[in-house]
Amino acid sequence: MADIPTLEAADAQSAAPAPRSLPWLWISIAALVLLVGGAAAWLLLARGESKPDASTAQHAAAAHGPALYVALDPPFVTNFEAEQLVRFLQVTVQVMTHDPATAELVKANDPIIRNDLLLLFSNQKYADIATRAGKERLRDAALGAVRRVVTVAGGNGDRIDAVYFTSFVMQ
């Protein structure tokens, strides 16, 4: 009768493996927490080492700021020939940037910008700017002209985001 298991002996045998597996469970959880924490710390430190310099951060902040529009008033009025007729073009232009310094540079160089745009507008052919595609090409050329003036004036021409025609009348 010595080999007959009793209820107390069965409880002692089933309880014995539990304390051994419980420390392994806690050790596994602790190792996982340390591993995740170490990876997070490494990512944060790696990101901190590649901080952009102050000028890049300032430019990024300016690029995400509100859009600033500089109206080139009064509207441009020019004439050009089309099929032996004298035609007139009236264009109202606004320049968009996100950089306040560039907006001030556009205002300060308004006469030069107006001169270059007036020469550009008066050199157009009626058939070329009568279509939407022609107007878009003219707008791209106007953007290039404004960027060149800003660059020559000591600014960054790439900070001029767009040139918009808010009124375009051909007669």
Domain count across the chain = 2
Are 26 and 80 found together in one domain? no
Q: Does residue 156 share a domain with residue 98?
A: yes
Residues 34 and 73 in one domain: no
Give the CATH number for residue 93: 3.30.479.30
**Do both 27 and 85 map to the same domain?**
no
**Separation of alpha carbons 65 and 97, rounded Å:** 9
- Short-list 100, 97, 96, 79, CA closest to 88: 79
Q: What is the pLDDT of residues 111-122, one digit of tens each?
A: 999 999 999 999
Domain shared by 22 and 87, yes or no = no
Which pLDDT tens digit goes with each residue over 51-106? 544 444 455 555 568 999 999 999 999 987 777 778 899 999 999 999 999 999 99
Give residues with Cβ within 8 angstroms of 116, minimum separation 6. Answer: 145, 146, 148, 149
- Same domain for 73 and 19? no
Host domain of residue 31? 7-48
Domain assignment present for residue 129? The answer is: yes
Q: Same domain, yes or no, for 12 and 41?
A: yes
Same-domain status, 16 and 76: no
- Residue with tokens 């001169």, as numbered in its chain: 115
